[in-house]
Amino acid sequence: MGRRVFGTGRWWLRYDPGVTMNREAHTKRSAGKRSQRFWEVDAARGVAILMMVVYHLTYDLDTFGGYGISSTSGFWAYFADATAFSFLFLVGVSLAISHAKARARRPEGSLFVKYLMRGLVVLGWGLVLTAVSLVLGMGVIAFGILHLIGVSIILAYPLLNLRLPNLVLGLAVVAVGIYIQTLDLVSGSPWLLPFGVVPEGLLMPDYRPLLPWFGVVLIGLFVGNVVYGSGRAPFGRGAGPRLARPLGVLGRWSLVIYLVHQPLLIAMLAALGIIRIGSF
């Protein structure tokens, strides 16, 4: 803003080159941050966000409204899996991009603390959801997608530079996880939850174990290193096509949207009389 000076009964604005230069520098920094992003990754994450909202709306209508949509089986179960696959694949792609940028800034030295803290933050939000699910009595989110993403960020650190090994290992993890699911194993210990073995009688509305879903992250990491390795921008940088920009905004705020969208959906449906809060 300008600097105000008093003169002849009025306030006037005087040009201040220092303030203007600061504003221009801030604008350049903001534009630089935007230009470093890959619009297609943000847009793809925005599509995954929309899929998630659609599925949770369906789930809420089925579970709390009694509309009989069968949201946990058939088409909607596959839709939920496709949504999770999209998110986790993009986690791997984003890890590859983030690591390439970090290595360009710090070619020497370990980045482990950076990814450890990032993973712990996401895992912490997952634990918050666990606590909320216990309080509300809507089942237990014991190892949901946020838990998985947080742990995957940490586990993937030694593999961030790899290409083909990530593809091979990712496919192997997926195959082992699918095989474990076919066995319908149950256990009295909750410590096996991350590996796809569920305690009997435990209701989990959001469950994404490491086996097989960590494999999807590794496959995304492989693709990210191949497509975006060495800082390449195959589709250009910046905001991208005009039609993709709203999706990009959703993608950049994916964690916040994930955390707040379900309470907002439930509150909206309840306010409209479509569901009853006490029905669950």
- In this structure, how many other beta carbons lie within 10 angstroms of the beta carbon of residue 230? 8
Query: What is the total residue count of the chain?
Result: 280
Q: Is the pLDDT of residue 13 over 70?
A: no
Average pLDDT over residues 149-170: 97
pLDDT digits (tens, 9 = 90+) for 237-272: 777 888 899 999 999 999 999 999 999 999 999 999
> What sign results for the dihedral spanned by CA atoms 97, 98, 101, 106?
negative
pLDDT digits (tens, 9 = 90+) for 175-227: 999 999 898 888 877 888 999 998 877 788 899 999 999 999 999 999 999 99
Instruction: Give the span between the Cα atoms of 60 and 277, in whole angstroms.
Output: 10
108 Cβ contact list (under 8 Å, min separation 6): none
What are the residue boundaries of the structural domains of the chain, listed by start?
1-35, 39-279
Residue 193: strand, helix, or coil: helix
107 DSSP 8-state letter: S
When pLDDT is cut at 50, 70 and 90, the band that residue 30 belongs to is very low
When pLDDT is cut at 50, 70 and 90, the band that residue 113 belongs to is very high
Q: Is the pLDDT of residue 172 over 80?
A: yes
Instruction: Give the span between the Cα atoms of 214 and 218, in whole angstroms.
Output: 6
Q: Is the pLDDT of residue 23 over 70?
A: no
pLDDT digits (tens, 9 = 90+) for 58-84: 999 998 888 989 999 999 999 999 999
